[in-house]
Chain A
């Protein structure tokens, strides 16, 4: 099918979809008018019931915690898939572990290296703070885990590939990610052990606005943050080993 015919077929389908979407969307309430009841119900009752000041965190980890469990396992599966695909492909060709630095492979200026190395500490601290305060201010496991992973990747972006391998070795990342996913299930099983439903909030709810409040929410935030951070660093290190190992082989 040559490109012109492909475009014509797509355009005819797209016009049909656009008409259908236009007809459907004009039946919605106009932008800014909110009619659904659930948002108002949660906004009014989340503080009273869960002693948390952030309604979104309560919805993600508590009211709809089972959905978050499913999403976390999608993440785990994708990371396992990436590791599986790239590791089996690498075992088919010769491998050698990079043991010294080749300054010529990644030409980084001194300014980029200095700023990158200087920003690792603040980034990791910011990520940890976002994870820990997930039930008080906007934040939580997913965002904090992504910022933590960015902090770990900064050591590679600053030109120190060997430092990155030493800070985040594969034999540490695999169990870290598995324990993050398992930790979520274990905290949910706490609810089963104490006689109520799975993922029920059974730890003591403190006072709203302090760090030790809202029962299982801080624990769940921490497990999710561990898993997301380990997952992202694992993906990046798998991709990197692909490029760096092959490039080193082609250099000789």
Chain B
């Protein structure tokens, strides 16, 4: 029971990968990629958690109260915003690809015509 967050992170990773493998639409594939990214956020934040501790903001609590790990939160914070931007780049690539080939189905993109 105390390994539930790690299990949920692994479950999200595998479910997102399954969605990417069996996808018939490039936009659906990009959204499944963002699910895979969110599994890493859950895993990292679960690593830094301490039972009974508060958030690492000391505006109204005296410094010295036990708080959760701020380094892990710093990693995830920038990652969230940058991840959405990379998703935008992938969506722009999907739009370009639709213009060239006329289809959004990854199963129909067989050979790379050079």
Contacts and interface: CB of A to CB of B under 8 A. Distances in A.
Q: Do A and B bind each other?
A: yes
B50 A32 contact: yes
Contacts of A74: 82, 85-86
Interface size class of chain B, counting residues whose CB lies under 8 Å from the partner chain: 35 or more
A31 B46 contact: yes
B95 interface: yes
A134 to B, nearest CB: 11
B58 A53 contact: yes
A140 B50 CA distance: 24
B88 A82 contact: yes
Interface in A52-91: 53-56, 58-60, 64, 67-68, 71, 74-75, 78-79, 81-82, 85-86, 89
Contact of A55 (B14, B17, B56, B86): B56
A31 B45 CA distance: 10
Given A32-B49, A34-B49, A56-B77, A85 B96 contact: yes
Given A39-B69, A55-B57, A85-B93, A26 B3 contact: yes
A28 B6 contact: yes
Contacts of A209: 59
Contacts of A228: 81
Nearest to A232: B85
B63 A44 contact: yes
Contacts of A30: 2-3
Contact of B78 (A34, A89, A142): A142
B88 A31 contact: no
Interface string B60-71: 000110011111
Nearest to A133: B59
Contacts of A59: 70-71, 73-74
A48 B62 CA distance: 12
B21 A10 contact: yes
B77 A142 contact: yes
A64 B95 CA distance: 36
Nearest to A10: B21
A216 B62 CA distance: 24
Interface string B16-39: 011001100000000000000000
Contacts of A54: 56-59
A6 B17 CA distance: 13
A157 interface: no
B69 A89 contact: no
Interface of B: 2-7, 10, 13-14, 17-18, 21-22, 46-51, 53, 55-59, 63-64, 67-75, 77-82, 85-86, 88-89, 91-93, 95-96, 99
**9 tightest CB-CB pairs across the interface, nearest first?**
A39-B69, A32-B51, A30-B2, A34-B50, A55-B70, A55-B56, A59-B74, A25-B6, A78-B85
